Structure 1
Amino acid sequence: MTVQDVRAFNRFYTGVIGALDYGRHLYAPYTLTESRVLYELAHAPHLDAADLRTSLGLDAGYLSRILNRFEAAGLVERGVSERDTRRRRITLTASGREAAAMLDERARDSVGALLGGVAPGDRARLVEAMGTIRDVLGDGRREGAEDIVLRQPRTGELGWIVQRNAVLYAAEYGWDAEYEGLVARIVADFAQEHDPRTERVWIAEADGRPVGCVMCVRDDAPGAARLRLLLVEPGARGRGVGDRLVGAVVDFAREAGYRELVLWTNDVLSSARRLYRRHGFVLVGERPHHSFGKDLVGQDWRLALREAGG
Structure 2
Amino acid sequence: MGEVEIRPPRPEEYAVAGEVTVLAYQADGHLADGVGYDATLRDVARRVEAAEVLVAVDRAGDVVGTVTIVQPGSEYAEISRPGELEFRMLAVAPSARGRGIGDALVGAVFDRARALGLRRVVLSSLDRMHSAHRLYERLGFARLAERDWRPFPHVMLIAYQIDV
Band the TM-score falls in, shorter-chain normalisation: 0.7 to 0.9
Quote the Cα distance in structure 2 between the aligned partners of 1:177 and 1:161: 21
Match of 2:3 in 1: 147
Deviations 1:68-87 (CA, angstroms, capped at 9, x unpaired):
xxxxxxxxxxxxxxxxxxxx
Match of 2:48 in 1: 191
1:172 to 28, 51, 56: 28
1:210 to 56, 63, 68: 63
Unmatched 5+ stretches in structure 1: 1-144, 195-199, 306-310
Residues 268, 296 of structure 1: 8 Å contact kept: no
Match of 1:301 in 2: 160
Tell me the matched-pair count: 152
Quote the Cα distance in structure 1 between the aligned partners of 2:68 and 2:30: 23
Name the one with the larger helix percent: 1
What are the residue-to-residue correspondences of 1:67-106 with 2, within 5 Å?
A: none
What are the residue-to-residue correspondences of 1:1-310 with 2, within 5 Å?
A: 145-173=1-29, 175=31, 176=34, 178-183=36-41, 188=46, 190-193=47-50, 200-206=52-58, 207-220=60-73, 221-285=81-145, 286-287=148-149, 290=152, 295-305=154-164
User: Where in structure 1 do 4 or more consecutive aligned residues deviate above 4 Å?
Assistant: 184-187, 287-291
Change (3 A) 1:238 1:185: closer
Larger Rg: 1
- Displacement of 1:185 in angstroms is 6.4
Name the one with the larger strand percent: 2
Change (3 A) 1:272 1:171: closer
Residues 216, 253 of structure 1: 8 Å contact kept: no
Q: Which has the higher contact order (CA 8 A, sep 6+)?
A: 2
Change (3 A) 1:154 1:274: same
- Displacement of 1:233 in angstroms is 0.7
Q: Give the TM-score normalised by structure 1.
A: 0.44
Change (3 A) 1:177 1:171: farther
Change (3 A) 1:301 1:187: farther
